[in-house]
Amino acid sequence: MGAAYFYHLTQKPLEATLPMLLGKALGAGWRVAVRGTDAARMDWLDQKLWLGPEEGFLPHGLAGGPHDTAQPVLLTVETAAANKPQCVMTVDGAEVAPDEVQRLERVCILFDGNDPTAVDVARGQWRSLTGAGCSAQYWSEESGRWEKKAEA
């Protein structure tokens, strides 16, 4: 049974935090799907990941390509990812179902702490997932480094 990890971004933007989390997931040997809600936003994120430092190259692809099933990291707006991930990272309030959390190794929910709507969506997801019996952790970077603030 997996767990949902909530990441409350307040110091660094998504495009700086996501590569760090992707590196950890790949280091664990997991395939990852990054799920968003808007194709244009996923295209933007794809471009940001390609512009990262050379020593921190993250092999990834944007869903809809000929090699989706082979991608270690697949950026998508679909619920079912072709790369059969062990970890799903959601951005921009993309939905996560309790059975998905329980089926996968990890679900990471990244949300912008400077956006009140994003915070409200994340709170609703926390209530929904923990209410369904999912294990969850809340991580904050408010102090300048990541700290676990809550666990259910």
Residue 50 has pLDDT above 90, yes or no: no
Q: What is the pTM of this model?
A: 0.95
Computed over every residue of the chain, the mean pLDDT equals 94
Dist. CA 51–CA 37, nearest whole Å: 22
Alpha carbons within 13 angstroms on the beta-carbon side of residue 29 total 0
Taken as a whole, the chain contains a residue count of 152
Task: Put residue 35 in one of left, alpha, beta given phi > 0 → left and psi -120 to 50 → alpha.
Answer: beta
pLDDT range class, residue 55, cuts 50, 70, 90: low
Q: Summarize pLDDT for 69-124 with one digit per residue, the tens.
A: 999 999 999 999 999 999 999 999 999 999 999 999 999 999 999 999 999 999 99
Phi, psi (deg, nearest 5) at residue 134: -80, 145
> What is the predicted pLDDT for the residue at 4?
98
Q: Which domains does the chain have, with CATH numbers?
A: 3-151 (3.40.50.10110)
